[in-house]
Amino acid sequence: MTPAAQHPSRDELLAMAYVDDQLDPAAKAEFEGRLSREEALREEVTSLRRLDLIARTAAPPENIDIAWKEVDESASQTSIIGLGWIATILGSVGVAAIAIQSVAQARLPLWERASIACLVSGLTIFFLAIARRRWRTRHMDPYTSVKR
């Protein structure tokens, strides 16, 4: 809902009615046509669906949830996890560098080097394309808010 005006706009009302399945077939088809064109409207519908999901799956916290949260948010745990990640990333970069160096130093024919370079580049490009797709659509995925 727009914070300035505490009254929902017409589009917000329409989105609420759409999520609650209250629109008649003609209005629903028209709204779905707009959804395919207007990103702001898609985000509004996603946000309403996320609220609906939270309401549906909300459960009182269990004791273990509270304990996990305390441990996860403690300075010692975040430091340990952070340190683990830094070491893992540095190690991965190092191992990748060793692999590249080994291939570069190996007395391989040019076509074999080119094949390895093509394979590594191709896999990297595929990964980046898929990561880009996920990155650009993650905010449209209401299910990431489901806890259990």
Partner 1 sequence: MKHIYTCDLVPGKTIAEGLGMVRGSSVRARHMGRDIGAFFKGIVGGEVDDYTKLLAEAREQALDRMVEEAKALGADAIVGMRFCGTEIQRGAAEMLAYGTAVRLEKD
Return residues touching partner 1 (CB under 8 A): 21, 49, 53, 56-57, 64, 68, 85, 88, 143-144, 146-148
Q: How far is the CB of 146 from partner 1 (least distance, A)?
A: 5
Q: How far is the CB of 5 from partner 1 (least distance, A)?
A: 31
The total of other beta-carbon atoms located within 10 Å of residue 142's CB is 17
Give the DSSP per-residue string, 96-140: HHHHHHHHHHS---HHHHHHHHHHHHHHHHHHHHHHHHHHHHGGG
The two three-digit tokens of residue 51, written as one number: 């609220």
121/8 Cα distance (integer angstroms): 49
Whichever of 136 and 148 has its CB closer to partner 1, that residue is 148
Task: Give yes or no for a contact between 55 and 146, defined as CB atoms under 8 angstroms apart.
Answer: no
Q: How far is the CB of 12 from partner 1 (least distance, A)?
A: 21
Please give the backbone phi and psi of residue 51, each rounded to the nearest 5 degrees, phi first: -60, -45
Element (H, E) at 29: helix 25-37
Whichever of 4 and 55 has its CB closer to partner 1, that residue is 55
Q: How far is the CB of 21 from partner 1 (least distance, A)?
A: 6
Whichever of 53 and 116 has its CB closer to partner 1, that residue is 53
Q: How far is the CB of 121 from partner 1 (least distance, A)?
A: 21
Whichever of 10 and 56 has its CB closer to partner 1, that residue is 56
Whichever of 62 and 112 has its CB closer to partner 1, that residue is 62
